[in-house]
Amino acid sequence: MSQDHNAGEDRHEAVLDPILLFVAIVWGGNFVAYKYLMALVPAPGLLAARFIAITLILLAVLGWRGRLLRGNTRAMWLALFPAGVLVMGMQQLSFVTGLDRTAAGEGSLLFATAPVFTALIAAAIGQERIARANWLGIAAAMAGAALVILGGADARDAPPTRVTGDLLMLASSLGYATFMVISKPLGQRYGALKIVTFAYVFGLLVVAPFGWHDMVAADWGALGALGWLSMAWLVLLAGAFGFVAWYWRIARTSSSRVAVYQYVVPVVAMVAAAVLLGERPTAAQLAGAGLVLVGLYFARRPATTACP
């Protein structure tokens, strides 16, 4: 890679990325859209329907571009099969079941720890280095996540399952971070569209059996205009477009730099949940939210660099 290319990439990363910012805002709205739809459709059925729709769209686009059967290798299948089943599929399961058991704003804050997990995993496999100063940010973010969980006990109308939901959201964050790290070298070699498409295909092996019965039994006619608008948001904007755009950028930079835009997601989610769902976090949770965001900032400062 030439020095001119590296310089161009650094200049691009020094300014706001409008695509990633848009995806982060859309993903922030995901939490409210999911919570609205879960009141109409059981969470497993909703996940299965969304997963199948996104998979079909991605397969159609990949086929239209003539890349469905071209350029596939044994090494790609060996990497994507476990990533799709164990990471993408299980991550989505833990996300939806966790969100179903906790508040939207609370869940979004815990899911925002993904950049911390991304940095730790990338460092563990030698993809990036973490400087000493970044460890303070990592510790602060994790302490903030603990405060969000513990502080939610006194939240108004807190669901009795919220602790289980919060832990599932953390597990989902870990799975999401793992896939971000795994997808970087795969995306560079095969392209983000192909990687995301086949990860969804293999993830269906987990998601479809989990939610098929609820999906078939659901009364989809009861969704109404707002319900179908929320479904379109989850499938088209947050799913098909959002995932491909996100991992396309990861393939062209460090996964942790892309993950920085995850900061936007809980802010959008908390505001939307407060306005549309009437959620009101406790003072302790707000303090935890601040600690998470500050911790993420320091955890992802330029001191964390890509390994050569």
HSE, side-chain direction, 13 A CA sphere, residue 50: 30
Are the beta carbons of 123 and 181 closer than 8 angstroms?
A: no
The pLDDT, as a whole number, for residue 34 is: 94
Q: What is the mean pLDDT of the chain?
A: 82
pLDDT digits (tens, 9 = 90+) for 134-169: 787 778 877 877 877 777 655 665 677 888 999 999
**DSSP helix/strand/coil, 307:** coil
Please give the tally of structural domains in the chain.
1
Tell me, yes or no, whether 61 lies in a domain.
yes
Query: What does the pLDDT average to over 72-85?
Result: 91
Model pLDDT, residue 131: 74
Within-domain flag for 222: yes
Is residue 178 within 8 Å of 87, Cβ to Cβ?
A: yes
pLDDT given for residue 37 in this prediction: 95
Which residues touch 261 (CB under 8 Å, ≥6 apart)?
17, 20, 21, 23, 24
| Per-residue model confidence (pLDDT) at position 185 | 85
Classify residue 204: in a domain, yes or no.
Answer: yes
Q: Which of 12-16, 110-114, 132-136 has the highest mean pLDDT?
A: 110-114
Residue 307: the pLDDT is 41
- Judge whether 10 lies within some domain: no
Q: Has residue 199 got a pLDDT over 50? A: yes
pTM (two decimals): 0.79
pLDDT at residue 99 is higher than 80: yes
In a domain, 11, yes or no: no
What residue type is assigned to position 128 of the chain? E
12, part of any domain = no
* Boundaries of domain holding 166: 19-306
Q: 9 lies in a domain?
A: no
